[in-house]
Chain A
């Protein structure tokens, strides 16, 4: 059984650019959630996708958007990057609303 994987592991962008982060969910999971973890903070919920539809959203601006594909993998897109977007981005998958399994994260640095 393959766990949750994320790519890339690290990324450096400049302010104003756009970025796409990718997540492959664990086998058998149909729900993907994305979280942002700033330094010294706990993960903050961005949004969740269930069967390709957005199922809930946290307090993040519209420049944070996402997609879920028929194979339940997912993308997180961030437009017009700001310095404060520098963080670890975590993807978690689950079967419906059961326990969430996290990937190792993508470390994004915005210069």
Chain B
């Protein structure tokens, strides 16, 4: 039972354009979400988070939007850069564990 779903396994975007990565979740009790980025041969690194009391959180080129009624969140990267090419995981933070989606591989083309 996949409680956090990332339905797009891959995404290609031109450098300078916007990248939009989507995520759906099933449990309405989830109240804190994080995005992690993972490069090959490295562990996931924290990118940005959002609490359910907010519908938007921004950090530089990265913005996360949360739509609680739709149980959907999205990560916007603008402008996209080649160094952003990585696998992005949408994650829900539970009491003691993280629940990860399956990841979206973003490729930013120069």
Contact = CB atoms under 8 A, between A and B. Distances in A.
Interface of A: 4, 33, 35, 40-45, 48, 50, 55-56, 58, 90, 92, 97, 99-105
Interface in B13-57: 34, 36, 41-46, 49
A105 B44 CA distance: 9
B106 to A, nearest CB: 15
Given A44-B100, A99-B46, A100-B46, 12 more contacts: A4-B43, A42-B4, A42-B100, A42-B101, A43-B89, A43-B100, A45-B98, A56-B97, A97-B96, A102-B36, A102-B43, A103-B43
Contact of B97 (A4, A42, A48, A104): A48
A42 B103 contact: yes
Contact of B95 (A35, A44, A97, A104): A97
Contacts, number: 54
B95 A56 contact: yes
Query: How would you classify the secondary structure of chain B's contact residues: helix, strand, loop or mixed?
Result: loop
A103 B102 CA distance: 19
Given A99-B34, A99-B49, A43 B44 contact: yes
A43 B98 contact: yes
Contacts of B96: 33, 48, 50, 55-56, 97
Contacts of B41: 104
A4 B45 CA distance: 11
13 contacts: A42-B103, A43-B44, A43-B89, A44-B100, A56-B95, A56-B96, A58-B97, A99-B34, A99-B49, A101-B46, A102-B36, A104-B41, A105-B43
B99 interface: yes
Nearest to B6: A42
Contact of A90 (B6, B44, B103): B44
Interface in B34-86: 34, 36, 41-46, 49
A42 B6 CA distance: 10
